[in-house]
Amino acid sequence: MPIFLVFGLIAACLPIDWPEPPFEPAREVAVALSGGAVALVLLVAVGLRTWVVRAVRRDPGRRIEVGRAYARWRRALFFVNIGTAAGCVLALGWGWYAQRAFVMEWNGRPTLAPFAELGVPLPYFVVLFACWVIYYDAERALHEARGYDRRPFAPRLAYLLHNLRQFALMVMLPVALIVTQQTLTRFAPEATRSDVYRIASLAVVPLLLLFMPLLMKPLLGLRSMPAGETRDRLEALAKRLNFRCTDFLLWPTHGAAANALIAGLLPRVRYVVFTDRIIEDLPPDELDAVFGHEVGHAKHGHIWLYAGFLSLSLAVLAALLILLDQQMRATDTWLLLVPVVVTAGYLFVVFGALSRRCERQADVFGCRAVSCSDPACTGHGDATEYPRGGAGLCPTGIRTFVRALERVGDLHGLTPDGPERRSLGALVRGAWAWVRHWLHAPMPRRIAYLRAVIERPALERRFQRRLFAFKCVLMLGLLAALIALGRFVGWEKLYEQL
């Protein structure tokens, strides 16, 4: 979900003339109404927390039912929270107020203070942080009622810090870049028109992608994986797959997440990260398969592909904006929202389609990482020989990977709610699943595909051929669009816009 949150927050930080409060005295009304709205949604959150804690304490046997109801409510309240914050800015006059409250004198004129645009989405930040504090007890109660997990639940501060760190990296980093740029434009307008600044701001996205791994380590509190059996095993597998990285990192989440990820374009600044839970709860062969999936992203050049796709797409979108501007010449500040909405929609649809296909390719490589060279094998033992570079694909390898996926799904409590009835609720849940899975296909779809490959290996070859064609068409199409638009609007103009 972060994508819509990121673009929503960016939209809130733009210099748009937000509407005035509904009645006088304007400032007091804006503060009172927005404060009231925030207090109201927090009250609902406290109510939900209290119900969960009491229900589970009274009858631990109801934990599954309570857990499901809690998850449903949290999902609905996620949208209520965003809607409330948007309502504060759009209807209750909070945006208008924030643009007047955080002002300072600069060159004899009242100017919005540095980074003060973050005051506009402030109601959302308040609700978000307060919700982490409020829901902690509900999450802990559910965790303790489950019983089978011997791990103690994270202490309150660690839980808050875990959420805060993820939010900072996934959501606030892009928002901070935009806000920094706006602050510089306000306070050093000459500098932002210089060539050095333009080149620096063009380079910031690729540089960030390149050095993201170095940033991630302190931001998420990652540690180098200690020497031992697991590390030795991963290193041996990396060697067999001809894969190089700087380090294997451990992400301490107090058991909150079972995940792995890869970050970094170059082997020298590339990390593979495993959460504590996935290391502890997955059998060795399944951990190999998960690691194979991450290696697959590097082997198939996905990280480079994403970097190239994002750079090209942003350049094309910028050129489109100039074209629009040349045709319309409007002055309404609300039009600033158009590029934000278009970019969000474009990334959701096109990047989503690309990412889901690449994830499937990485899934297949994960199967290959634990496959032998016999396409009809019936099981693996100590004597099984695994080919170098993940050259084989066998039924046992695929089944190992599928088991790993199922286990990760179980650890995250993704077991389906039972047979779905055709109802509005089912429709909403389906839409929500689709939005949540814009980067990864839903777990059952991934598993069903891999099972189908066991029956019909030709499916895999067809998929690889089609994906290659898809990547070529996408990148060449973007390149052609950029060249055509660049000629049309003028390269000089395009460079200025960037």
* Comparison of 37 and 362: residue with beta carbon closer to Zn ion: 362
- Check binding of 355 to Zn ion (CB under 5 A): no
User: Which one of residues 81, 182, 361, 396 is an interface residue with Zn ion (CB under 5 A)?
Assistant: 396
For the bound state, the minimum distance from the C-beta of residue 366 to Zn ion, rounded and expressed in Å, comes to 9
Beta bridge partners of 345: none
- Check binding of 361 to Zn ion (CB under 5 A): no
For the bound state, the minimum distance from the C-beta of residue 301 to Zn ion, rounded and expressed in Å, comes to 14
Q: Which span (345-353, 367-375, 399-407, 412-420) binds Zn ion, by CB under 5 A? A: 367-375
- Check binding of 362 to Zn ion (CB under 5 A): yes
For the bound state, the minimum distance from the C-beta of residue 375 to Zn ion, rounded and expressed in Å, comes to 8
Rounded Cα distance between 365 and 375, Å, is 15
Whether 219 and 162 have beta carbons less than 8 Å apart is answered as no
For the bound state, the minimum distance from the C-beta of residue 297 to Zn ion, rounded and expressed in Å, comes to 6
For the bound state, the minimum distance from the C-beta of residue 2 to Zn ion, rounded and expressed in Å, comes to 16
For the bound state, the minimum distance from the C-beta of residue 370 to Zn ion, rounded and expressed in Å, comes to 8
* Comparison of 279 and 358: residue with beta carbon closer to Zn ion: 358
* Comparison of 362 and 402: residue with beta carbon closer to Zn ion: 362
* Comparison of 136 and 386: residue with beta carbon closer to Zn ion: 386
Identify the sign of the CA torsion 238, 243, 244, 247: negative
- Check binding of 454 to Zn ion (CB under 5 A): no
Whether 273 and 222 have beta carbons less than 8 Å apart is answered as yes
Rounded Cα distance between 274 and 259, Å, is 6
For the bound state, the minimum distance from the C-beta of residue 360 to Zn ion, rounded and expressed in Å, comes to 9
For the bound state, the minimum distance from the C-beta of residue 394 to Zn ion, rounded and expressed in Å, comes to 3
- Check binding of 402 to Zn ion (CB under 5 A): no
* Comparison of 286 and 359: residue with beta carbon closer to Zn ion: 359
Q: Which H, E and C letters describe the chain, residue by residue?
A: CHHHHHHHHHHHHCCCCCCCCCCCCHHHHHHHHHHHHHHHHHHHHHHHHHHHHHHHHHCHHHHHHHHHHHHHHHHHHHHHHHHHHHHHHHCCCHHHHHHHHCEEEECCEEEECCCHHHHCCHHHHHHHHHHHHHHHHHHHHHHHHHCCCCCCCCCHHHHHHHHHHHHHHHHHHHHHHHHHHHHHHHHCHHHHHCHHHHHHHHHHHHHHHHHHHHHHHHHHCCEECCCCHHHHHHHHHHHHCCCCCCEEEEECCCCCCCCEEEECCCHHHCEEEEEHHHHHHCCHHHHHHHHHHHHHHHHCCHHHHHHHHHHHHHHHHHHHHHHHHHHHCCCCHHHHHHHHHHHHHHHHHHHHHHHHHHHHHHHHHHHHHCCCCCCCCCCCCCCCCCCHHHCCCCHHHHHHHHHHHHHHHHHCCCCCCCCCCCCHHHHHHHHHHHHHCCCCCCHHHHHHHHHHHHHCCHHHHHHHHHHHHHHHHHHHHHHHHHHHHHHHHCHHHHHHHC
* Comparison of 276 and 359: residue with beta carbon closer to Zn ion: 359
Q: Which span (128-136, 228-236, 377-385, 420-428) binds Zn ion, by CB under 5 A? A: 377-385
The structure tokens listed for 331 are: 């002055």
Q: Which span (91-99, 134-142, 192-200, 370-378) binds Zn ion, by CB under 5 A? A: 370-378
* Comparison of 56 and 282: residue with beta carbon closer to Zn ion: 282
For the bound state, the minimum distance from the C-beta of residue 196 to Zn ion, rounded and expressed in Å, comes to 37
Rounded Cα distance between 67 and 62, Å, is 8
Q: Which span (9-17, 299-307, 369-377, 448-456) binds Zn ion, by CB under 5 A? A: 369-377
User: Which one of residues 394, 443, 454, 494 is an interface residue with Zn ion (CB under 5 A)?
Assistant: 394
- Check binding of 41 to Zn ion (CB under 5 A): no
- Check binding of 439 to Zn ion (CB under 5 A): no
Q: Which span (96-104, 134-142, 394-402, 454-462) binds Zn ion, by CB under 5 A? A: 394-402
Q: Binding to Zn ion (CB under 5 A): which residues in 201-260?
A: none
Q: Which span (108-116, 272-280, 357-365, 443-451) binds Zn ion, by CB under 5 A? A: 357-365
Q: Which span (66-74, 82-90, 159-167, 373-381) binds Zn ion, by CB under 5 A? A: 373-381
- Check binding of 377 to Zn ion (CB under 5 A): yes
* Comparison of 58 and 436: residue with beta carbon closer to Zn ion: 436
* Comparison of 444 and 490: residue with beta carbon closer to Zn ion: 444
Size of the residue set binding Zn ion (CB under 5 A): 6
Specify the pairing of strand 247-251 against strand 271-275. Answer: parallel
User: Which one of residues 298, 372, 474, 482 is an interface residue with Zn ion (CB under 5 A)?
Assistant: 372
Residues near Zn ion (CB under 5 A): 359, 362, 372, 377, 394, 396
